[in-house]
Amino acid sequence: MRKTSEIGESLRIAVESLRMNLLRSILTTAGIVVGVVLVVVMGWTIGGLDAVWEQTISIIGKDMIYIDKWSWSGGGNWRLMEARKDITLRQAELLSQRMESAESVMPVVRLWSGSVVRGNTSLRCGILGTTTEYGKTSSAELNSGRFFTSIEDYQSAKVVILGEGVAKSLFSGEDPIGQSIKIISEPYRIIGVIKKRGFLFMDFVDNQVVIPLESFRSTVGMFERSVSIGIKTGSERMVDIVRTEAIGHMRSIRNVEPGQDNDFSINEMQAFDEQVKNIRIGIWTVGMGLTILAFVVGSIGIMNIMYVSVTERTREIGIRKAIGARRGSILLQFLIESSFLCVIGALIAFPIAQLIVGAARFVAVDLLDQAWASVVSPVIPVDLLMIAISVSVVIGLLAGLLPALKASRLDPVEALRYEQ
Amino acid sequence: MNRPIIEISNLVKRYEMGNEEVYALRDVSLTIGSNEYVAIMGPSGSGKSTLMNMLGCLDTPTAGTYFFNGQDVREMNDDDLAEIRNREIGFVFQTFNLLPRATALQNVELPLVYSGVGKAERQDRAKQALEKVQLSDRMTHRPNELSGGQRQRVAIARAIVTAPSIILADEPTGNLDTKTGHDIMALFRSLWEGGNTVILVTHEEDVARHARRIIRLRDGRIESDKVNPDA
Ligand SMILES: Nc1ncnc2c1ncn2[C@@H]1O[C@H](COP(=O)(O)OP(=O)(O)O)[C@@H](O)[C@H]1O
Ligand SMILES: [Mg+2]
C-alpha cells in the first residue's frame, strides 16, 4: 500500500521532470536509443535469417538424407571425391532392399541443363529422373495435378511434373496440366506442377522438371551419371538411426574395407545448420559489441544527468525527507526516474528501428526475391519490443543506482539549507 | 503537566568546522507535555534552529538523551526517524519549503504519500487540512501563484494533515509582513486550542506573546523557561 502510493508519486515526479527538461532528457537518452535500435534490428535480422533458413531447409526436407558421390557443402577433398566410383542404380536398388529403418529409398538422376520446348518457347532447365516415392517428399509438394505412378515409371510413360519456375516461363498463367512439351525432342504430357519452394540462392529448385526414372533412361540416358540416393526417414527424430544404417549398408554394398573412409557423401539439410549457426553467432557478436558500447555510453549519460538532477533537487529531497520520506522512498524515486528515461529512449528507438527494418526488408525483397515477402516479418515482433523495454529498464536501474544512493543518503538538515 | 511528549536532558550539539568546534547546543534539558504551546526565543545563532531540528528528529544530538513519546530517539535508525517525522511531527519552516511544481493540494498530500494512504483518502484529508487553514479555494494553485501568507498556510496544512503529536514551527512569520504574521499566529493559536501541541521559534516578543510558555536560549543554553504571564 505504502509502496503503491510512492510509486505513483515517483512516476508523477518522473513525468514532471521529463517535461521540465524535455530537450536535455531526450538528448541524454541518445545512447539508449542507439542501443535499443541495434538490439531490435539485430533481433529482427536473426529472426529473418532463421525464417529464411527454415524455408530453405523445407525445400529438401529435414527428414531427407541424400547419398551422393559429392558433398553438397563443398567440404572435403575435391580430388578424392572426383576419384570415387559413381553410385549406380543397382547400388540404389540394393540399399532400398536392405534399409529397414527408412520410410522409402529413391534413386534420383539429374541432367543439370536440358532443353524443354513448348511451341516456339524453349528454355534450358534441370531434368530429374526418379521413382514414384519422390512424390511423397517435401520437394514434390504439388500445386496442381498429380505425381506419376510406379506403373507409369515401369512403362516409361512420357509424363512430366513441372517446377513452378518452368511452368511460369512456359505457360505464364495458363493451366499446364494436360498440355504437351518436348524434353530433348521427346514429347511429354504434363500431369502436375510443383509448388514454389525456391528462395534466394536456392531458386534453381523451381527451374527443373521431374520425369520417371525409366523415361529418363530412354530420353536422356544413364551414361556416366552418378545416382543420388534419396532416403526419406519419415521423421526428423529418425535421421540419426537411418543415417547409421544407411552408411553400414552402403559400405558393404560398395565394398569399403573396415578402417577406410566412406567413398560416398552423406548430404543432409541439417549439416548446413552449423553454417547458419555461425552466421548467427557472427551477427550476435558484432551486434552485441556495438549494442553494449551504445548502452555503456548511454548509461554514463543517464548517470550523469541523474547526478545533475539530484544536485538540482537537493532542497526538494530535504523537504521530502523532512516530511517523512525514507531512504528507500528517495532511492525508489530516482531509480524510477532513471528507468523512465531509458524507457522513453526505447520508445523513441522503436519507430526508428521499424523504419530501418522496413527499409531493409524493402531492399531485400527488391534485390533478392519476392519469396522474402512471405517469410520475413515486416514489423518488429512484440517479444523483441518487450525484451528491449526490459533491457532499458535494467540499464536505467543500473545507471541510476549511484545517483539515487547519493540522493537517499543526503542529510535532511543540510539538504534543506542547500541554495540553488 | 500533561503526558510528556518531549523529554530531553543534557543535550549537546557540536559542529566541527575544520579545526574549530562550534557548540550549537551546550547542555539543554527540557520537558514538553501534550497540548502545550511553547515559544522558543533567543538571539540569532543561539541554537534555536538546531534545537528545533533535534526536536523534529531531523538531526541527531552529539550527546545527551532524547525521548519522544517515551521512545529513545538515539536507538532509532534513519527509517525509524523518517517514520516519526512522517506520523508524529508536523514541521513548518520560515521559508515554507513547498515543492514548487506541485499544487497546494499535492503539497499537502505529500506526507500521506509517504505513509501509504490511498489516493482518495489522501485527497480527502488534504482538502480537510486546506479547509482548516481557509485555503479551499486555492487547492490547484502552485506556490508561485500564492502570497507568502497563503504559502505558509499550505505549509501548515501539510504539517497538520497527518494529525501529528506536535507541530514545530521555526520562525514561521519571519518572511511575512506583520499583518499576515498575526493571521498565521492566530492560526497556530486555534490549532493549539483544538488540542494540538505547538512549539514555535521566534525572535519577536510580539509573536511570543501568544504562547503559554517561553523558553529563552543564549549561546546554546537555556537562559530562562517561564510561563507567559501575558497569555
Ligand atoms: N551545519 C553547521 N555547521 C557548523 N555550524 C553550525 C551548523 N549549523 C548551525 N551552526 C552553528 O550553530 C549555532 C546555532 O545555529 P542555529 O541553531 O541556526 O541558530 P539560530 O536558529 O538560533 O539562529 C550558530 O553559531 C551556527 O553558526
Ligand atoms: Mg534559526
Atom 6 (ligand 1): residue with closest C-alpha? B15
- From the list B53, B118, B158, the residue facing A323 with the nearest CB is B158
CA-nearest residue for atom 7, ligand 1, is: B15
Backbone phi, then psi, for A198, in 5-degree steps?
A: -70, 165
Q: What is the edge-to-edge ordering of all strands in the sheet holding B20-33?
A: B20-33, B4-17, B63-68, B71-72
**Does residue B67 form part of some domain?**
no
Q: Tell whether A414 is within 8 A of chain B (Cβ).
A: no
| Domain assignment present for B212 | yes
Q: How far is the CA of B42 from the centre of ligand 2 (A)?
A: 10
Cα–Cα distance between B63 and B46 in angstroms, integer?
18
Average pLDDT over residues A84-108: 92
Ligand 1: which residue has its CA nearest to atom 13? B24
**How do residues B16-33 score in pLDDT, each as one tens digit?**
988 899 999 999 999 999
pLDDT tens profile B103-152: 999 999 999 999 989 999 999 999 999 999 999 999 999 999 999 999 99
Task: Tell which wins on pLDDT, B214 or A371.
Answer: B214
Higher confidence at residue A23 or residue B198? B198
Q: Rounded CA gap, A114 and A123, in Å? A: 8
Q: For residue A300, which amino acid is it?
A: I
Q: How far apart are the first and last CA of chain A?
A: 34
How many percent of chain A have pLDDT more than 70? Answer: 95
Whether A412 sits inside 8 A of B110 (CB atoms) is no
How big is chain B by its Cα radius of gyration, in Å?
17
Radius of gyration of chain A (CA): 32
Q: Tell which one of B20, B22, B204 to mutate to probe ligand 1, the residue whose CB is within 8 A of the most ligand atoms.
A: B22
Mutate to test the interface with B, among A21, A314, A316, A319 (most CBs of B within 10 A): A319
What is the per-residue pLDDT for A320? Answer: 95
Three-state SS sequence of B154-187: HHHHHHHCCCCCEEEEECCCCCCCHHHHHHHHHH
What distance in Å separates residue B4's CA from the closest CA in chain A? 23
Residue B143, chain A, CB below 8 Å: the answer is: no
Q: What's the rounded Cα separation, in Å, for the pair A87 and A264?
A: 8
Q: Contact, A57 vs A72, CB < 8 A? A: no
- Tell me, what DSSP letter sits at residue B230? -
Residue A149 buriedness (CB in 10 A; 0-12 / 13-18 / 19+): middle
The confidence score (pLDDT) of residue A175 equals 92
Task: Tell which B residues from 4 to 33 touch A, by Cβ distance under 8 Å.
Answer: none
Rounded to 5°, angle at Cα A61 from A268 and A234: 95
Q: Do B114 and A2 touch (CB under 8 A)?
A: yes
**Mean pLDDT for the stretch of residues A294-304:** 91
DSSP codes, A201-233: GGGGGGSEEEEEHHHHHHHT--TT-PPEEEEE-
Could you say which of A8, A322, A327 has the minimum Cβ distance to residue B85? A322
Half-sphere exposure of A223 (CA within 13 A, CB side): 4
Asked if pLDDT for residue A206 goes beyond 70, the answer is: yes
Cα(B14) to ligand 1 centroid in Å equals 10
Provide, as residue numbers in chain A, all residues whose Cβ is less than 8 Å from the Cβ of B96: none
Give the type of residue at B80.
D
For chain B, give the longest Cα–Cα distance. 53
Query: How far, in Å, CA of B172 to CA of B188, rounded?
Result: 10
Q: Is B229's Cβ below 8 Å from some Cβ in A?
A: no
Q: What is the pLDDT of residues B161-219, one digit of tens each?
A: 999 999 999 999 999 999 999 999 999 999 999 999 999 998 888 878 889 999 999 99
Tell me what pLDDT residue A75 has. 66
The pLDDT score that the predictor gives to residue A237 is: 87
- The single residue listed with the C-alpha cell 514489423 is A379
Q: Using a 6 Å cutoff on CB, does residue B22 contact ligand 1? A: yes
Residue B49 contacts by C-beta under 8 Å, 6 or more apart in sequence?
B170, B201
Report in angstroms the alpha-carbon separations of B80 from B73, B87, B122: 9, 11, 22
> Ligand 1 centre and the CA of B21: distance in Å?
12
* 8 Å CB contact between A144 and A196: no
Q: What is the pLDDT of residue A195?
A: 87
Contacts of B86 in chain A (CB under 8 A): 323-325
**Host domain of residue B126:** 35-62+88-227
Does an H or E element contain B17, and which?
Answer: strand B4-17
Predicted pLDDT at A347: 92
Query: Which of B53, B85, B116 shows the shortest C-beta gap to A323?
Result: B85
Could you tell me the CATH number of the domain that includes residue B94?
Answer: 3.40.50.300
Number of domains in chain B: 1
For residue A270, what pLDDT band results from cuts at 50, 70 and 90?
A: confident
pLDDT at position A415, please?
95
CB B49 near ligand 1, within 6 Å: yes
pLDDT at A16 exceeding the cut of 70: yes
Task: For residue B82, give the nearest of A6, A318, A326 by CB distance.
Answer: A326
Cβ neighbours of residue A327 under 8 Å, at least 6 residues apart? A408, A409, B78, B79, B82
Which residue out of A312, A323, A330, A336 would a mutagenesis test of the B interface target, given it has the greatest number of B Cβ atoms within 10 Å? A323
Touching check for B86 and chain A: CB below 8 Å?
yes
**Chain B contact for A417, CB < 8 A?**
no
| Lowest-confidence pick of A100-104, A198-202, A224-228, A283-287 | A198-202
Q: How far is the CA of B180 from the centre of ligand 1 (A)?
A: 27
Query: A9-44 b/e with 16+ CB inside 10 Å = b?
Result: bbebbbeebbeebeeebeebbbbbbbbbbbbbbbbb
Residue A186: count other Cβ atoms within 10 Å of its Cβ. 13
A261 neighbors A77 (Cβ within 8 angstroms) = no
Which pTM does this prediction carry?
0.77
Specify the higher pLDDT residue, B211 or A48. Answer: B211
The CA distance from A6 to the nearest CA of chain B, in Å, is 6
Distance CA B136, CA B158 (A): 13
Closest protein CA for atom 18 of ligand 1: B49
Dist. CA B36–CA B195, nearest whole Å:
9
Q: Going by C-beta distance under 8 Å and a sequence separation of 6 or more, which residues neighbour residue A127? A: A110, A111, A114, A116, A183, A184, A208, A209, A211, A216, A220
Which residue has the CA at smallest separation from atom 14 of ligand 1?
Answer: B47
Q: Is residue B83 part of a domain?
A: no
Chain A CB contacts of B118 below 8 Å: 1, 5
- Looking at the domain assignment, is residue B186 inside a domain? yes
**Within the 327-386 window of chain A, which residues sit less than 8 Å (CB to CB) from chain B?**
327-329
pLDDT at A3: 74
Question: Given pLDDT bands bounded at 50, 70 and 90, which one contains residue A199?
Answer: low
Is the torsion defined by CA of A400, A403, A409, A414 positive or negative? negative
CA distances from B57 to A203, A313, B34 (A): 79, 22, 17
Kindly write down the DSSP assignment for every residue of B80-102, as one continuous string.
HHHHHHHHTEEEE-TT----TTS
ipTM: 0.96
